[in-house]
Homo-oligomer: A and B are copies of this chain.
Amino acid sequence: MKIRRIELTKIIDFLDKKVIKVEGDISESFITNLAEVERVNEDTLDWINPAKQNKQEIAQNSKAKVLLVDDSIKPIPGKVLIHVRNPKVSLAEIGNEFFVDKIIPSIHPTAIIDPDAKIGKDCCIGPYAVIGKAVLGENCIIDSNVRIYDDVVMGHDCVVKAGAVLGGAGFGYERDEKGNKFRFPQVGQLIMGDFVEVGSNTCIDRGALADTVIGDYTKINNLCHIAHNNKIGKNVTITGCVNISGSNIIDDNVWIAPNSSIRGWVHIGEGATVGMGAVVVKNIPSHETWVGNPANKLEKKK
């Protein structure tokens, strides 16, 4: 992790109206890093979880001098308390602003892009990426060795991590007169919204005759397989190693835990949760949690 000396006044300026109040002496104060239990020290920025019962005590005992806290924490001698509504969100914003390297828009000379592709401005396309007749919005980051096939349409501010494959032909087959399989035409598109993130080595197939659709702010982790014709909503969380077979409808704000499987042709309602390793073969109503193989509703107080 990078050590950088950032003056506290800069941090407070950056947070701007999110700061409810500041207590303690901020002159000469700085942070060098975000705190973490393994390496918190006097110069790292710590945050106190508002949900903890003994949060005042935790704040007093932190090795860090500067703390992001909610408005219930009382002054602590020798410490600077930055009161904000959501300490963890503010920590994240400070980290992204000051401790994560900014991406510089550029197209690496080894990226191979079809002349008919349309690439929005300020995109960053990494080495050895291969992009067909696709459309990318502004500010997208496409990492190394990514393959984007023809007919993919991606919104703005998307991130695609190394080795991901978007818009490949789906897994649909018919049998010829001798009983041998041949591919059913896969001629639909893959349509992605804005702020979508796709993890490393994840594969999302194009539609067969209809389209595959991924909504805004949906985040997909590494090594997932999303088959043809899925309609996935907004702010959906798809964690690692998830298999989503074809033609499902997955509504907004669904959470899909690692290594679970969704059968195809099912509907998962808004805000539902699919448990880790769940094998989903039926529709899941909104806001329910389903677990197990086969998956069933998780009852409270089992």
Instruction: Using C-beta atoms within 8 Å of the partner chain, give the interface range for chain A.
Output: 35 or more
In the bound complex, residues from chain B placing their C-beta under 8 Å from that of A162 are 130, 147, 149, 165, 168
- Given A89-B174, A96-B185, A168-B162, CB of A143 within 8 Å of CB of B147: yes
Copies in the complex: 3
- Cβ proximity bits A1-16 to B, threshold 8 Å, 1 near / 0 not: 1100000000000000
Which of B34, B36, B163, B237 makes the CB contact (< 8 A) with A181? B237
> For the complex, what is the distance from the CA of A183 to the CA of B144, rounded to whole Å?
20
Q: Is A293 an interface residue (CB 8 A)?
A: yes
Q: Is A134 an interface residue (CB 8 A)?
A: no
Q: Is A20 an interface residue (CB 8 A)?
A: no
> For the complex, what is the distance from the CA of A163 to the CA of B146, rounded to whole Å?
9
CB proximity of A298 to chain B, nearest CB, Å: 11
Segment touching B, from A60-68, A71-79, A202-210: A202-210
CB proximity of A78 to chain B, nearest CB, Å: 23
> For the complex, what is the distance from the CA of A219 to the CA of B172, rounded to whole Å?
10
> For the complex, what is the distance from the CA of A227 to the CA of B222, rounded to whole Å?
9
> For the complex, what is the distance from the CA of A199 to the CA of B208, rounded to whole Å?
16
In the bound complex, residues from chain B placing their C-beta under 8 Å from that of A188 are 1, 36
A243 in contact with B225 (CB, 8 Å): no
Of all chain B residues, the one with the shortest Cβ separation from A150 is B101
Question: Main secondary structure on chain A at its contact with chain B?
Answer: loop
- Cβ proximity bits A170-190 to B, threshold 8 Å, 1 near / 0 not: 010111100111111111110
A222 in contact with B165 (CB, 8 Å): yes
A223 in contact with B223 (CB, 8 Å): yes
B168 in contact with A217 (CB, 8 Å): no
B200 in contact with A203 (CB, 8 Å): yes
A residues at B contact (CB < 8 Å): 1-2, 34-39, 88-89, 92, 95-96, 99-101, 110, 112, 126-128, 130, 143-145, 147, 149-151, 161-163, 165, 168-169, 171, 173-176, 179-189, 195, 197, 199-201, 203, 205, 208-211, 216-217, 219, 221-225, 227, 235, 237, 239-241, 243, 245, 258-261, 263, 276-277, 279, 281, 291-294
19 pairs, A vs B, C-beta closer than 8 Å: A1-B209, A2-B187, A36-B210, A88-B174, A92-B184, A95-B187, A100-B185, A100-B186, A130-B144, A161-B165, A165-B201, A180-B195, A180-B216, A201-B203, A221-B227, A241-B241, A245-B276, A261-B277, A291-B294
List of 3 A-B pairs having minimum Cβ-Cβ separation, nearest first:
A95-B185, A36-B209, A277-B279
**Besides the known contacts A165-B200, A181-B217, A258-B261, 12 further A-B residue pairs in the complex with CB atoms under 8 A apart:** A34-B187, A92-B183, A99-B185, A130-B145, A143-B147, A145-B147, A163-B201, A171-B199, A181-B219, A245-B258, A263-B276, A277-B277
